[in-house]
Amino acid sequence: MRAAHGIGYAKLICGDETDNAMLLERLGAQLHDWHFPEDRQIQIISATLREAWMSSPDGPPLATGADKAVELSRVIETHWSSLGSPCSERAIELALSYAERRRGAFDPARSVVVHGDAHEWNTLEAPCSASGFKFVDPDGAFAERAFDLAIPMREWGTVIPKGDLSQLGRHRCSLLSRFGGVAHQPIWEWALIQCVSNGLSLQRKGLYDSASVQLAMADAWAASGDFVTP
């Protein structure tokens, strides 16, 4: 937050790292409250990310994209069986395969400081910014841009959407690729990893409705395999 200087993130007015306290500029409503169509919402999140991405700042090193891939793999490996296998074995196998691929793809020269949790509840109105919005509550890492663009891929609410789940995911991935300026496949890979790991984590916390949606999406996407550009 300090390194961003109010660009893409709420401006840090002052902070006390000892007491873990921050005073931030006042922002407006969450993006969620605007009830924009999906295309517009994805466009706003992507535009705000493009403002927020920056090179690695001075100070303690951030977790890398490789670290995040390993971390999410461990969540998947640890909790799938203990939770009674709530998604398909195919989804688990592909998520772990994708995580290994993203771990190996980490390249410091092509990485940025990512927000790490850029969804509609962490995106708040800020008329003074270029996108009209800024982020709060970062979970920062030093990773490829696709890591951030995959976060909105896991946000589908608490009811499984109507329609072809694979096609819904591919449509959203296409929007994120277009608005974020990043290839489809890395976004798609991080998206499956996120849906599986986050779905399992939500189930562990007893948030069964949200978990079931994310795991259902993961099953559908895994069944269809890699992203194929139309």
**Tens of pLDDT along 19-77?**
989 999 999 999 999 999 999 999 999 999 999 999 987 778 899 999 999 999 999 99
pLDDT at 71: 97
The Cα angle at residue 129 between residues 110 and 188, in degrees rounded to 5: 40
pLDDT at 222: 97
pLDDT at 59: 77
Rounded mean pLDDT, 98-121: 97
pLDDT at residue 13 is higher than 80: yes
Q: Residue 229: which pLDDT band, with cuts at 50, 70 and 90? A: low
pLDDT at 159: 96
Domain boundaries, the chain: 30-224
pLDDT at 56: 82
Domain spanning 30-224: CATH superfamily: Aminoglycoside phosphotransferase (APH), C-terminal lobe (3.90.1200.10)
- Provide the percentage of residues in the chain whose pLDDT is more than 90: 93
CA distance linking residue 71 with residue 76, whole number of Å: 9
DSSP letter string, 174-226: HHHHHHHT--HHHHHHHHHHHHHHHHHHHHHTT-HHHHHHHHHHHHHHHHH-S
pLDDT at 101: 98
Instruction: List 141's β-bridge partners, or say none.
Output: 114
Are the C-beta atoms of 50 and 44 separated by less than 8 Å?
A: no
Are the C-beta atoms of 72 and 63 separated by less than 8 Å?
A: no
Are the C-beta atoms of 52 and 4 separated by less than 8 Å?
A: yes
* Nearest of 5, 43, 8 to residue 138 by alpha carbon: 8
